Amino acid sequence: MRITNFYNLPDAIVKACGEGKRKPSENYFSVTSLIDAPLIRQLTIKHYDELEEDVSDRLWALMGSSVHGVIENNLNPFSEMPLEIEIDGTTIRGRLDLLDEDKILRDWKCTSVYSFLLGDKLDWEQQLNIYAYILRKTRHEVRGLTINAILRDWSKRKAEMENDYPPIAFVEKQIELWTMERAEAFIRERIRLHQLPTPPPCTADEKWEKPTKYALMQKGRKRAIKLYSSQFEAETCCDKEKKQYVELRAGECTRCKSYCAVRKFCPEGIKTQKESEG
């Protein structure tokens, strides 16, 4: 993989973002790669030497790494603890953020307010439960799972005006702790999917798919009155005498369109790119 710097970012940023990602190994998974799309992983392995990624696309990851660097200074011996387990010849590795004195496994995230307001993120639940499984397999007690989220785009103004908006730029969220049987079944299924000769297409979640919505709008108002999943429902609620109208907000697969490193080698990515170009 070749790392580019199209925007001439400072050398310090380039070095901090690293020289490149390692080529995935057939029988080794990080926890994050295990829960990610099998198709992306297989295309990455196949086309690794042809891939390019710009430093500018790694800036959010750099912010997250900075937070984890602060966590490493925590005196708790189970802070930034490396984890490893082998299942049927496949090695899975990860690095948990913190197992506190109450045996609560905590993971730190730098994320957007929008992501948190959407509710539970499935990949966070999966990631923490794999960590918990490995810990319990290596005779460490885990009593609960928690996400500690720093909201990078939090706005004081919105916090003062919107009732459902986080009051500060930090949110703590409890995550369901799976049974050992459920966690092991999930891990084995993920390994199976990754090792299929022909991987399954990416799911809607893996493509970061945003569904098409129909916005009920009011003339002179920028924000939608309400969003609907069907045009019929939106049109039914539209009161034209009040100068209301329905606006189409087309859905898209955000990752396929802009963020997937292997999109030019993927049929879905090629299709999405052609559609965006008109």
Per residue, the 3-state secondary structure of 128-183, as one string, reads: HHHHHHHHHHCCCCCCEEEEEEEECCCCHHHHHHCCCCCCCCEEEEEECCCCHHHH
pLDDT of residue 179 exceeding 90, the answer is yes
Q: Which two tokens stand for residue 151?
A: 């909201």
Q: How far apart are CA 37 and CA 69, in angstroms?
A: 27
pLDDT in tens, 96-144: 888 888 999 999 998 888 877 766 688 999 999 999 999 999 999 999 9
Helices (H) and strands (E) in the chain, counts: 11, 13
Round to whole Å and give the CA distance between 5 and 120.
34
The amino acid sitting at 208 is W
pLDDT digits 0-9 by tens, 239-248: 999 999 999 9
User: What pLDDT is recorded for position 118?
Assistant: 64
Nearest Cα to 104, choosing from 142, 159, 153, 58? Answer: 142
218-230: average pLDDT: 92
Q: Quick check: 177 and 137 in contact, CB under 8 A? A: no
Count Cα neighbours of 261 within 13 Å in the Cβ-side half-sphere. 26
Rounded CA-CA distance 26/24 in Å is: 7
**Confidence band of 73 (pLDDT split at 50, 70, 90):** low
Selected residue with higher pLDDT from 191 and 68: 191
Is-contact 44 261, C-beta < 8 A? yes
Domain boundaries, the chain: 2-194, 212-250
Which of the four pLDDT bands, split at 50, 70 and 90, describes residue 42? very high
Tell me how far apart the alpha carbons of residues 56 and 74 are, in angstroms, rounded to a whole number.
Answer: 30
Residues 40, 259: Cα–Cα separation, whole Å: 12
Q: Provide the CB-side half-sphere exposure for 215 (13 A, CA).
A: 14
Asked if pLDDT for residue 172 goes beyond 90, the answer is yes
Q: Is the pLDDT of residue 192 over 80?
A: yes
Mean pLDDT for 204-227 is 93
For residue 190, pLDDT over 70 is answered with yes
Q: How far is CA 110 from the centre of its chain?
A: 11
Closest of 207, 227, 205 to residue 216, by C-alpha? 227
The residue to which tokens 């709008």 are assigned: 217
Predicted TM-score of the model (pTM)? 0.86
Model confidence band, residue 178 (pLDDT cutoffs 50, 70, 90) = very high
Mean pLDDT of the chain: 90
97, 71 in Cβ contact below 8 A?
A: yes
Q: Does domain 2-194 have CATH number 3.90.320.10?
A: yes
Lowest-pLDDT choice from 107-116, 171-180, 230-239, 245-254: 107-116
**Among 53-67, 84-98, 240-254, which stretch is predicted with the lowest mean pLDDT?**
53-67
Q: Which residues of 246-270 are buried (b: 16+ CB within 10 A; e: fewer)?
A: beeeeebbebbbeebbbbebbebbe
Is the confidence at residue 214, as pLDDT, over 90? yes
